[in-house]
């Protein structure tokens, strides 16, 4: 199955915090390293903006073992 572009656009507009990104690739193009990296970067950016993930500076402190004391 595929999803019609119009349905995706309507869903993104209806979602309170929805963001729609378009990438200039076909269905299988998302598996190319450069495109996959771009998509992952955009997803992390969205999740940080939505406060689902900590901001980058906070995440670095947590992974470096710093307690902030």
pLDDT in tens, 17-61: 888 999 999 889 999 999 999 999 999 998 898 888 888 765 565
Q: Please tell me the predicted confidence (pLDDT) of residue 69.
A: 46
**26-18-48-24 Cα dihedral, nearest 10 degrees:** 20
Mean of per-residue pLDDT scores for the chain: 83
Q: Please tell me the predicted confidence (pLDDT) of residue 17.
A: 83
Q: Name the band, by pLDDT with cuts 50, 70 and 90, for residue 63.
A: low
E strand or H helix that includes residue 12 = helix 5-14
């Amino acid at each position: 199955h595929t999803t019609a572009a119009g349905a995706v656009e309507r869903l993104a507009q209806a979602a309170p915090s929805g963001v729609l990104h378009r990438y200039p690739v076909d269905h299988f193009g998302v598996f190319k390293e450069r495109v996959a990296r771009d998509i992952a970067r955009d997803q992390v950016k969205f999740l940080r903006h939505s406060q689902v993930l900590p901001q980058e500076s906070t995440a670095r402190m947590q992974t470096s073992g710093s307690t902030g004391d």
